[in-house]
Every structure is written in C-alpha cells, then in structure tokens.
C-alpha cells in the first residue's frame, strides 16, 4: 500500500512545471512534495496563510507562529510570503494557483467531486477544499483506485459535492485519467494492470486514449 501511494505521488510530481504555485492537500497529496524534481521551482501554498512551505519543523527549528493547514508546525522557504485568509483565498479564487492536488471519496465521469462530508458521520467541514477546487486552474485527484474494492470513480456522485465539474486529472495506482467533455479517458495504464482490470475497478465507462502509454514510475 505504501509503495502504491508512493507510485501515485511520484507520478503526480511530474505534473508540475518550473515556477508553478500549487496546493497539496493532507495525506497522500502531501507526499507529492518529496518527488518534485530538484531542478524546478515550485512554490507550495499553505492556505492558512503563506506561499512557500518547506519541511516539517523539529524541536530545533520550531516557530510557534508557523503551522500548515493541518495544524503541523512547519518551516518556510526564504522566498515565503505570509498573508491573511482573505488574500490566501483571493489567490485561490483568482486563478493564481496552477494546480491543487487532493484526495477524493467519489469522482464522477463529468468531473464532479465529493470529498468533504459523509452524511450521518462525524462533522468535519470543507475547510478550504471548496474554494481550492473551484479556483485552482487544474484539479488533480490522487487516490487509491477503489475503497477496498468499492468503486470511487462513478457515473454520478452519491455524496454531497465539493464542486461541480472541477476535476481535470485522476492519478491512481492503476493509471492516469483525464476528465474530458465526453467522459474519462485513460492516458496511462500501469503495466501491472490490463484495460479490463481498470475498467472492472471503475463505476463508469472508461475511454482508452489511442496514444495511451505505460504509467511511468520514475
């Protein structure tokens, strides 16, 4: 499982270009930062208040005025810019964030996303997720393809939405999928799986791009 998550994070890291300003969600998306190539400059957004997250802090360098959006004490890059919540989400809604990477409970074939609430369960809240998937120029979902076998990529979401038609790209351990006007297209398939395998693990019809290639691990 850890290896599969690392596979997803490594592949996602290839989506970034030199100079991008991006937001990584909590969990698997946070792992993406470890694989961003050294030779490009990507500035990571911490929506609670800055652009330029660096590593998690330890007892030697902790500053109680710097947490990330998960409440973890972190450090900041020399090029950091701190801002308040209004400016932080102005940057998001204004389309100044190149990409946001986050997990999903459900994604529909038209790009609808559900990842913030399961009715009847513990109340958590959307935090900044609705703003991020509405405002970021590209929404990338990184997740395991199914929830212990239960489909997560569906014809239609059953859970309350985070936003409509917002997902651009889905990266799972099985492959890479683009959400296009006419549905979900597999552009990369991992060599461990066949077209039949990925279709069987998906709750809507998949299209296979004529130029589909093997999902690269490195």
Residue positions annotated with a catalytic role: 47
Which has the closest alpha carbon to 129: 152, 105, 153, 109? 105
| 3-state SS record for 7-68 | HHHHHHHCCCCCCCEEEECCCHHHHHHHHCCCCCCCEEEECCCEEEEEEECCCCCCCCCCEC
How many residues are recorded in the chain? 218
179 is a site residue for another protein (CB under 8 A): no
Q: Which is nearer to another protein, 100 or 172 (CB)?
A: 100
Task: Pick the stretch among 36-44, 100-108, 130-138, 197-205 that binds another protein (CB under 8 A).
Answer: 130-138
Task: Pick the stretch among 78-86, 100-108, 181-189, 196-204 that binds another protein (CB under 8 A).
Answer: 78-86
Question: CB within 8 A of 165, min separation 6: which ones?
Answer: 110, 111, 112
H helix runs in the chain, sequence order: 2-13, 28-31, 85-93, 129-135, 195-200
- Alpha-carbon distance 177 to 206, whole Å? 9
208 is a site residue for another protein (CB under 8 A): no
61 is a site residue for another protein (CB under 8 A): no
155 is a site residue for another protein (CB under 8 A): no
Q: Binding another protein by CB under 8 A: which of 76, 141, 177, 206? A: 76
66 is a site residue for another protein (CB under 8 A): yes
160 is a site residue for another protein (CB under 8 A): yes
122 is a site residue for another protein (CB under 8 A): yes
Which residues of this chain interact with another protein, rule CB under 8 A? 46-50, 56-58, 62-73, 76, 82-86, 88-90, 92-93, 112, 117, 122-131, 134-135, 160-164
């Amino acid at each position: 499982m850890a290896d599969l998550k690392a596979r997803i994070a490594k592949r996602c890291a290839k989506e970034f270009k030199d100079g991008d300003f991006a937001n990584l969600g909590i969990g698997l998306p946070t792992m993406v930062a470890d694989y961003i190539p050294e030779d490009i400059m990507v500035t990571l957004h911490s929506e609670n208040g800055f652009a330029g997250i660096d590593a998690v802090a330890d007892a030697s360098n902790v500053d109680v005025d710097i947490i990330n959006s998960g409440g973890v004490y972190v450090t900041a890059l020399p090029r950091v810019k701190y801002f308040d919540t209004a400016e932080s989400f102005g940057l998001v809604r204004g389309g100044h964030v190149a990409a946001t990477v986050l997990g999903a409970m459900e994604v529909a074939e038209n790009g609808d996303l559900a990842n913030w609430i399961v009715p009847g369960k513990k109340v958590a809240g959307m935090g900044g997720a609705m703003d991020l998937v509405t405002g970021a120029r590209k929404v990338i979902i990184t997740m395991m393809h199914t929830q212990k076998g239960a489909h997560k990529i569906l014809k239609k979401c059953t859970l309350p939405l985070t936003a409509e038609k917002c997902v651009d790209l889905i990266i799972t351990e099985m492959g890479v999928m683009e959400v296009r006007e006419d549905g979900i297209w597999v552009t990369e398939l991992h060599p461990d799986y066949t077209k039949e395998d990925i279709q069987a693990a998906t709750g809507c019809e998949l299209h296979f791009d004529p130029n589909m290639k093997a999902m690269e691990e490195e």
